[in-house]
Amino acid sequence: DTAVSQTPKYLVTQMGNDKSIKCEQNLGHDTMYWYKQDSKKFLKIMFSYNNKELIINETVPNRFSPKSPDKAHLNLHINSLELGDSAVYFCASSQGLAGKPETQYFGPGTRLLVL
């Protein structure tokens, strides 16, 4: 069984479109994350939710809007896609124990290509 899953795996779209990526984890974790990995393989945190509450919001354009309907799901909606949004987007989750650094478990990634 997949612990952290994402859909879709690949997404090719035109500039200006709006798209969503979905993430689900079945590990019973309280915290979920979105990361962006660019063409140089640099992995950068975008957002984090703990039990549906936003706790990390990095400097990300407001075209990106995360939504957590419950603690097992974290979706990412992107408006008005730009060429620079092309990247691999990884979802991750961790247990969510306050104040302690935790191992994060990553999903398989969504490869977004904006044309």
Partner 1 sequence: GQNIDQPTEMTATEGAIVQINCTYQTSGFNGLFWYQQHAGEAPTFLSYNVLDGLEEKGRFSSFLSRSKGYSYLLLKELQMKDSASYLCAVSLAGGGNKLTFGTGTQLKVEL
Q: Which residues bind partner 1 (CB under 8 A)?
A: 4, 31, 40-45, 48, 50, 55-56, 90, 94, 96, 100-109
Q: What Cα–Cα distance (Å) separates residue 14 from each residue in 19, 36, 76?
A: 10, 19, 17
Least separation in angstroms between CB 55 and partner 1:
4
Is the Cβ of residue 16 or residue 28 nearer to partner 1 in the bound state? 28
Least separation in angstroms between CB 61 and partner 1:
19
Q: Is 77 exposed, middle or buried (0-12, 13-18, 19+ CB in 10 A)?
A: middle
Task: Tell me if 86 sits within 8 A of 14, measured CB to CB.
Answer: no
Amino acid at residue number 50: N
Is the Cβ of residue 55 or residue 115 nearer to partner 1 in the bound state? 55
Structure tokens at 103: 């191992």
Q: Among residues 39, 87, 41, which one has the least CA distance to residue 61?
A: 87
Is the Cβ of residue 40 or residue 84 nearer to partner 1 in the bound state? 40
Is the Cβ of residue 16 or residue 53 nearer to partner 1 in the bound state? 53
Least separation in angstroms between CB 15 and partner 1:
25
